[in-house]
Every structure is written in structure tokens, then in C-alpha cells.
Chains A and B, each alone.
Chain A
């Protein structure tokens, strides 16, 4: 018998628990030439903002041990171009869409969510409250990320909850002392789930030129280097939450994804690994199905939180 792979994140039904991390999969088009993107549980799009954004000055990317440091700065096509060009492509290909959105105020998030819902251009909203790269170096130590302050997480989540009936995910930052606080704040404000984790803030310097390797000085670290940190945060958060967790951070293979499910994630997202292997997310869906069959587990949901401690 084929095991059940379907999971639910609030009212969002995913045919399997594997999506992609925002910013690592473009708008789906970039990878549709490698595999059927509708075979994923969902496609999570690159953050969109109300207006197009050019993003940060280059260099924006540097490789670090088993990871990538980036400071893209939310370059994106903007909502109008997403609705006109990107969403129709995703719909035509039958993809389930998690629309990651970013704004500078709660109002902007609400407008994005409303217009996405009206246009049927999203099956769920993921509010990016945790981009580490939208301030320049001079102000990076100034305004904190929304996701670093539980009260602000609650404020933004409540506003969004009132603005849309779509399933609402809140994407949180690992750059906090205790991940449970912003996660609980999102839950209490009515979020249907939390996405853990965004990138870890980091930096790298060229000793020859004495320059930071990123023009933005600081960036966000992703890739297998951060996997143990992400896994622990998913474990911490899922034990205190009633709402689902989408786990992400350095997932490269099916065994990596299974670790996140065992730690308490209801679904997972594949991030940087798609850069190295364009069909990595699809291979993880297949690997997960094989694992369930091999271990005679009838339902993927049986793995969630099933760590043996």
C-alpha cells in the first residue's frame, strides 16, 4: 500500500510535506524546466513587495564552509508583475502556491495579502518578518527585525489574520535568544503555522583587501552549515506550539528532511540545495515515500514529532 504523504497546514492541503524555501526557487519558472513543480507539496515564491525592488549592491553572495552567505536585499518583480506574469505560470502548471510577502508596515502586508487572495494568486501567505538584508550596513544595528520582537510579531500577525482568509504562515528568524517567544506570539495572533528558520546572520572578510566579502557587510547564512541549529529550533518551537511548523535550514536529502519531521515539523522546505541540484526537492519527495514504504509507515504524519527520546 502506498503511504499517505498529504499534510495540512491549517486549511492548506499539501500533497506531500515538501516545499521550497522562499528565495531559493524564484517564482517556480526557473525550475520548471527541470521537473514538474506541481509534484511538490507547494512552491514558496521569492518574497514579493508592493513595488518592484532592485535589492542590494553586489557582491551579494559568498560561499562559506558548507554554506552560502547572501545579502540579496529582496530584489523582486513587485506585486503587479507577480499577478500578471508569475502567478498565471504557477497556476497553469498546477502548483500549490505559498506566497511569501514582505512590507515595511503591517498595512503593506495586509494589502499584499488581500490582493493575492482576490486574484487567487496564492493558496497560503507566508509573511516574511525576518529578512536580515533589508537594512544597509550603517543601520543594521538599528531597527531590529520584526521577528526579533514578539510583540511586533503579534501585531503584524493579527493585522494579517484580519486581512485575509488564506492560511497564514509567519516566517521567523533564528537570530533570537528563544525561538519559542516569537513562535507563540504568532500562534496567539492567529497564524496557522510558522516557518522556521530564516537565515542566520553572518559575515566574511577578505584578509587581503580587508573588505567585507558582501557589499552589504552582513548577510544571511544558509546551507547544510546551519542544519543542526535549524533542527534544534524546530524541536524547541514545536514542543510548545499547537499550530504546525514548516521546518527548513540546510535540508539537502530525504534523511535530512526526515530529521525535521521527527523533531516536530509538519512539513519541510528545501532551500540552498536547489542551487546545487535543481531537482533536489523532488528527490526528497521520492526519498521520503521510499522511507515510509521501507519502514512500513502508513502516513507521513506519523513521523511528526516521533523522535525517540
Chain B
């Protein structure tokens, strides 16, 4: 059940240039939060911005949850300015998270840019469910924007890196590295990142017979399935099912259920 709670900020530190990690004390939310779920964070007491900001849980700790975010707009700039000891209104946990099938032998997490945000919590859960840490592919524009490498390594994950400029790891995007890892029908892929990368990942999964879950992002007003603002097109043809809500039908979807061709990449930033 989602809560709307005023929570104390325990930490809010830089994770990379223009990227921060906020940890908030939220025992009730932490007890129920699943990897891949998210919370809506209120960034201002007044109405600028008016809406909360959806943030997936980077970590679910015993008494706290952590969010990893990129500072790029008005809302995240206000979040970045918040200090430990201040309170923030947290609405969550919301949405449907990742599902973990421990009968599958190989689990690969694929992240692009800030899309890495929900994956540490997932790596944690996969490790517990499968008694073996997953493999992780992290892509970023350049070395200094690579996030969470040390977090995954400390969990015992095998970590593969890719950068657009080749400043560390393989030159290229995360999905190229995934291809080299040769997923097969006994592989579960989990991906979060820019839409082109997720589409490429979905295609690799489809070709190789691997299962693939993707965590999507969208402009969102409510997080509760009411506003219908955050929809994406699914493969379902029926008028009543065609548009699926990122907030409540997702944010995690079976990649096969998303109509990747319908997505208008021109609107992605």
C-alpha cells in the first residue's frame, strides 16, 4: 500500500557530476518497496514545480530508501539543494517492479546513463533470490558519468562497462556489450535506460530467446493510474488496452508487450 509521508533526509551527496544520491528515512516505505518500484517526491512546498517527481528506488535498506537522480530540471535542482535533516514528502511505493524467476540460470542487468537508478536494488534482490550475483552492463556517455560500478562490484557482480567515447570499457552502448555476452533462452535480461538502448536490448532478447523486462520512464502527474498522462503504446490492439500506464501497469514491463515501433523517439531528450 502506498503512503504519503514526510520523511527525514539522511544524506544527499554527489554521485557523479550533476548526479546525486538521496537517502531518506522511511521505515514503512522501505518495508514494502520492491526493486523497480518508485516514489513520487515533492520538490517544493509551493506550486513551482506543482507536480511531484517520480524516482525509482536505487536501494531499499532496512529503515531507509535511496534515490539516484540526474540534476537536469527545476525539480531535480530543488532536490539537489535539500540538506540532511530537512524533511521531504515521499509518496510510495508505487508501480509494479521487477519479477525475479530464480529457475533461470543467468541474470543480466543492462543500464544506460541514469537508467542505472533502479538496478542496485534489483541486483541485491537477484543475489538473494538466486544465491548468485547477476552480471551487470553499465553504459554512459563518458567515464565520469559512469554510475554505481563500485556498488555492483561490492555485491560481487561481474561488471561490464561501455562508454560512447571509449574513455573506459568498450566504446559503444550497453546493448552492444550485452550482445557479446550471448544471452540465450535460459537468460533473464533487465534493462533501464534511453529508449533506443532499450529497444535494441528488446531486439537482442527477442533474437536470442532470452526473457527481457524493461523499466520505462515518462512524464507523470499522479503515479496512481488516474491521470493517464504517462502511457506508452503496447502491442495490444483492443482500444481499451492499447495504452498502458507507466505508473501502475509498469514501470517494469515485459519488453515483448511494448510496441517499440510506435514510440516517437523524436520526443526523447
Interface residues of A (CB under 8 A from B): 23-26, 30-31, 33-34, 46, 51-55, 57-63, 65-68, 70, 72, 75, 77-78, 81, 206, 208-209, 211, 215, 223-225, 252, 272, 274-279
A209 to B269, CA, bound (A): 9
Centre residue among B50, B232, B238 by max chain A CB count within 10 A:
B50
- Say yes or no: B51 contacts A72, CB within 8 Å: no
Q: Which 9 A-B pairs have the closest CB atoms?
A: A61-B229, A52-B240, A26-B226, A275-B222, A275-B221, A54-B242, A66-B47, A30-B226, A52-B239
Interface residues of B (CB under 8 A from A): 1-2, 4, 42, 47-52, 91, 218-222, 224-233, 238-240, 242-243, 248, 262, 264, 266-267, 269
Provide the residues of chain B in CB contact with A61, threshold 8 Å.
219-221, 227, 229-230
Specify the chain B residue showing the minimal Cβ separation from A250: B47
- Say yes or no: B229 contacts A276, CB within 8 Å: no
Specify the chain A residue showing the minimal Cβ separation from B89: A277
Provide the residues of chain B in CB contact with A26, threshold 8 Å.
224-226
A25 to B233, CA, bound (A): 22
Q: Which of B226, B232, B233 contacts A274 (CB 8 A)?
A: B226
Q: Which of A34, A60, A65, A66 contacts B229 (CB 8 A)?
A: A60
- Say yes or no: A279 contacts B50, CB within 8 Å: no
Specify the chain A residue showing the minimal Cβ separation from B238: A52
* Least Cβ–Cβ distance between A192 and chain B, in angstroms: 27
With contacts A54-B239, A78-B240 taken as known, whether A272 is within 8 angstroms of B50 at the C-beta atoms is yes
| Chain A, interface SS category | loop
* Least Cβ–Cβ distance between B15 and chain A, in angstroms: 25
Provide the residues of chain A in CB contact with B221, threshold 8 Å.
61, 68, 70, 272, 275
- Say yes or no: B267 contacts A70, CB within 8 Å: no
- Say yes or no: A59 contacts B219, CB within 8 Å: yes
Provide the residues of chain B in CB contact with A277, threshold 8 Å.
4
With contacts A81-B240, A275-B226 taken as known, whether A68 is within 8 angstroms of B51 at the C-beta atoms is yes
Provide the residues of chain A in CB contact with B264, threshold 8 Å.
57-58, 215
Specify the chain B residue showing the minimal Cβ separation from A20: B226
- Say yes or no: A209 contacts B266, CB within 8 Å: yes
Provide the residues of chain B in CB contact with A208, threshold 8 Å.
269
16 intermolecular pairs with C-beta atoms under 8 Å apart: A23-B227, A26-B225, A30-B226, A58-B218, A58-B264, A60-B231, A63-B49, A63-B50, A65-B48, A81-B240, A209-B269, A225-B47, A275-B227, A276-B50, A277-B4, A279-B4
Q: Which of B226, B240, B242 contacts A25 (CB 8 A)?
A: B226
Q: Which of A55, A65, A252, A272 contacts B228 (CB 8 A)?
A: A55
* Least Cβ–Cβ distance between B75 and chain A, in angstroms: 8
A25 to B227, CA, bound (A): 7
Provide the residues of chain B in CB contact with A51, threshold 8 Å.
239
* Least Cβ–Cβ distance between B130 and chain A, in angstroms: 32
A225 to B1, CA, bound (A): 31
Specify the chain B residue showing the minimal Cβ separation from A81: B240
With contacts A30-B226, A60-B231, A224-B50 taken as known, whether A53 is within 8 angstroms of B239 at the C-beta atoms is yes
A62 to B220, CA, bound (A): 8
- Say yes or no: B239 contacts A275, CB within 8 Å: no
Q: Which of B51, B218, B226, B266 contacts A31 (CB 8 A)?
A: B226
* Least Cβ–Cβ distance between B189 and chain A, in angstroms: 24
With contacts A62-B219, A274-B222 taken as known, whether A75 is within 8 angstroms of B227 at the C-beta atoms is no
- Say yes or no: B266 contacts A58, CB within 8 Å: no
A59 to B269, CA, bound (A): 12
Centre residue among B1, B226, B243 by max chain A CB count within 10 A:
B226
